[in-house]
Every structure is written in C-alpha cells, then in structure tokens.
Structure 1
Amino acid sequence: MRIKEIKPHARHAFTELLLAVVILLTSCVKRDLEMRPNEVDRYIRLWAVVNTPDGVSSKAAVNTGDVFEASVAGWETSGTVDYATAYTWLSSAEVTASIVGKELVLCPVQTYAKDPMVITYKKAWYPQGTLSDNGQVTFAGDSPFTPNGTMDVLLASAISGAVNDPTGHKILSFVRPLIQLKFKIRKGNSFSGNVTLTSIKVKDARLPMGIDLTTDTVVYSVAANLIVPAISGAAITPTLCTVGDPVMVKPFPGRSCSLEVITSTSTYSDIAVVIDEDNSFVPGKAYTITLCFDREDKITTGSVVDEWSSGATGEGDMNKP
C-alpha cells in the first residue's frame, strides 16, 4: 500500500499545530530557565502527594497515576497570614496522583520574596474553579464541574516557606474530603420475573460546590435526592453486577444513609443502608452498597468499604409499603 504524500499546505498546518503544542508545554519551563541566573535561590519548589485513609491508593474519579490540573495560590506576609484577603499569586500545576511525593512545576513559575522575613503560605486544590479575593473558590463555570456526583475534590492545606528556608522543598499533601458510593445488585432465589433496574436515588445527598480556603472546608449544596448516573435498564439477575457510576458526596452524619430504588415493577421508597465498623462515614473512603432483591416486596442491603480501606460492613432491609 502506498502512503499518500502530505500536501505542502497540510504539512504547514500540521507543523504550526505541533509548534503551538510544544510552546504551550514548555512555556513555564522556558520562563524558569530565563529566571534562574538571577533568582535561582528564590525559586519555589513544591512536591505533592495524594493521601487516603490508611495510605491506601485512591480508586475514585482521580485514580493513582492520573494527572490532574490543580490550582496553587500563595499569600505573602511578614505577619499573620489571612486567607480572607487577596492572594499574592495564583498558578496551576499538573499533579500526578501518588502516595509518593512528586515534584510540581508551577505555571507561571513563582519565587519567594527577597526579604527573608516575608513568608509565603501556599494552598492547593482541585478542581480549579474560580478563586476570589476573600478566599472562596467556586466550582461553577469550571470545565470539570458537573453537579451530578461524579466530580472528585482534592485539597492541600497550607505549607509555608521563605527565601532562606533551610528545609528545602515543601510537600503539598492532598486529602479527599468526600466519600464515594458504588452500587451492586443481584436477585435472590425467591425473586422471580424479568425485572430491570430503573433508578437509584441517594436521599439527602450534598454535592461539592466550592471550597472555603479560610477554613479548608468544602462548600456543599443543600441536601437533595441524587440520581445515580448511568443506570439504564440493568437486568436484575442472580449474578452480582455493578450498576451506575460511582458518586462522590459529603459524608453523611452517623452510620446510615437512605435510598430510593425503582424497578420496572416496583418502587422501594426508603431503604436504609447502615455501616457497622465506622461510627460515621469517613472522608476518603469508598463504600460499595449491595442491593439484594429477595422478594418482590423486599430488598436486603449490605455495604463494604472498597479499595481505600478495608473491613467495614453493614446491612439492613426494607419492605415495600
């Protein structure tokens, strides 16, 4: 087979595109190299780790090894830092999700103040959203922002440094403030007929809408029923199967949450799911909830902590009214 020669105008367009990509990827490195001769001693060097309970690698929307674009902001002061005031600088950085520290490249590159008495305090978060001068980050309008429970949130609390800081590099330690819920279904021996799953709703779920950097807390939506995405007529069979997309929400108070489950034949309006090893849902843990359709009028539930930690289980049941 003969490969056609690329026409001159096509080659030119491709070359321009490739050059643009190279320029984009190297712009921060170029600036870094340009500033090093005079400012190398003030160059801010940062590392990052992504932590989960018990140090277990994450299995949420941001997986171990994934690269995500985080925002990093700096506040310079010779006194007490106030995150409710305007930040000094704001950069982005590609972070590789890992429990082992990896160096970041800030874009644009930042430096410490020449005055050794001026300390730079740094915080980082994902998704980037929009940072206001009062320390509030809002996710609305950010391209990764989808208020349907599929968005992960990562937050690294403040670290500080100055031009003559002898401790060297600083590590931004990202934590996950949400919980993740996964769902599996199967039917028991007494459940008959060809029945399909129509929907699962998580009751009183609260979704992340932003971050308050003055307190390092997530700002959540009001409590509402959350429809688990990507459930489209899954058949309920004796074989245990995963349904829908995992959802990430604010940890529920206490040890339980409630579901509404609708099938092609029935509605189960108040299914209680209880965990038994934790006193409450723990941020950073993923819980897999299993729904067993024992009879047409009854669902038995069970839950396990999945991937991030181990051990916690729970169960309960609900009869159809």
Structure 2
Amino acid sequence: MAKRKMPPYKNKKLLSTVLSALLVLLALAIYYGPELEAVFREPTPPSAPAEAVDCEAAVYFLDVGQGDSALIRIGEDFAMLVDAGIRESGDAIEEDLAALGVTELDAVIATHPHADHIGAMTQIIEAYPIGTFYMPVLPDDQTPTTATYENMLDALDKQNVPVEQITDKTEIAAPENAVFDVLSPRAGDAFDEVNDYSAVVRFTYGSVSFMLTGDAEEPVEENILESGAEISAQVLKCGHHGSSSSTSLPFLRRVNPAVAVISCGADNKYGHPHRETLESLNALGCTVLRTDELGTIVVTTDGEAYAVHTWSEENGLQPAA
C-alpha cells in the first residue's frame, strides 16, 4: 500500500512550528546561557585527600572573630595579606604569620575601610616590610574619618609603603602559574554603601580559583555578572560574612563553588551568616566552612587538585571534617 503524503500546507505548518521553537530555545540559551551552564555544571570537589595534595599555594582564611583576614602563600617566597580583621586580632595575626614563616608581605589589600577589615592594619604595616599596598579610593562624601582609617594612612606614610588605588584595571604582580584578577570596583563606580567599594579579587593558581569578595553586596555582584568576566571558582569567600545582602543566587550560580568559606565571629550580634545565604549554599550543594566553628580554614593546591584543612599553630594542618 502506497504511503500517503502529507498535504503541503501541513508540511509548511510543521516546519514553521519547529523553526519557532528553535528560535525560542536559541534566545533562551543566549540570555540565560551562563546561569544555565552553572546550574548543570557540577562543582569540582576536593580531588584528593588532604595529605595527597602538594602545597604549592595555599589560602589561609584566618580566624579573626567578626572580621575578615586571609593570607595567600605561593611557594616559599610570596605572601599576600587580604584585610586584617578587627583591632584586637592584630597579635593573633602576627602570631599566625610568624608560625607560617612570614617575615614580609609582597602585597597587602585592604578591601574597604571598615574597622572589621582594617582594624589591625596599622599594626601589620608597622610590623612587616610591604611591597605594595592596595586599597579602593572612595568618593569624598564616603571617605571615612575614623581614627582606624586615619591611623592606617599615617602608618603607610611613615613606613614609606607604596600605595596603589585598586580597580578592575589594576595589575597585581604574581609568581609563575598564579594570576590575580581584580573584578571590582571599576573606575567611576558610584554606590550608596561603602561595602560596595570592596575590592573583589579572583585568585587563580593553575586551574584552581578562589573568589575573595570583601563585603561586596548584590549591586556589585550584578555589575560583575553583567561584565561577562570569568568568575567560576572552586572556593568562594562569601561576601559580608555570609549576610543575605551578598552571595545572591545568580552570582552564586555563576561562581559555582564547591567550597564556601564564611568568616564570622561566634554568636555575633549581626546574626551572620544569615539563613537565606546558608539555604542558597545548601541548595547548590556547597560545602560550607565557617571560621566561628572551625577556626582558621586553609585550602591548599598544587594547581590541579586542592584540599581543605583547618590550621592552628599547635596542630598545624588537619583535614577539615
């Protein structure tokens, strides 16, 4: 029996329907592509047991209470400090650096001039030779007049430390196999909140990346997403101590971290980390590590694999639970 042919008008109607569907799918892919990619891309977990990863580079998220401070070590010769916690944490930071063999700092970044990030910075500036000091420059009407900020500037001047304004155009010198990409602030940015002038830096060693976000909040995250910059990272230091004003879901999806570190103090008065942030992190399957629960948290890497630890001067590196 001969096969019946479909009438020509039905062929045209079917073709039109298929083409329309393809155009819709193409439009969705262009508009939502990066977020859809993040949703369906599995985050890369620690790829080897802690004791099996050679420590060519490491990021120490120091336990400074309700504040932020991170030390980046690359090999035996490069050390960078990002923020310096509250004033009362100065001695503890110095003790940690001494235990880790740090006698000078190639670079220091003050992400923004709030006291929980630069509280001990004057002490650090006076105690260590510093190669270059990076900080954002705020508009005149938002530049702090606090004693903490003024003392930091005075110390930089007295110690003759080279100071550079940090923007997305800043190039930070790094050892071989390492890159520091500054994603924010951008020259000309205008924000209502000082937090949003925070330096946001993506540190990459080999194929392993870390997102360090200061206290940057959702408006900054939106700007970074719109810029189209590469921001995927295995490790995210959550913005603003895990506040719900940061770590928005679109940003989190694009970064797609396997490990999220939250630097905060035990029973802090701000309720950090906020429930909304923890729910978002859990929804994406992130391993959440908090300094108020674990103390100093360390991620080591050889540029391919990475491993997560806790650290103290007494016990050294220990695999994180």
Q: Mark yes or no: TM-score above 0.5.
A: no
Structure having the higher helix fraction is 2
Greater Cα radius of gyration, structure 1 or 2:
1
TM-score by length of structure 1 reads: 0.25
Structure having the higher strand fraction is 1
TM-score by length of structure 2 reads: 0.25
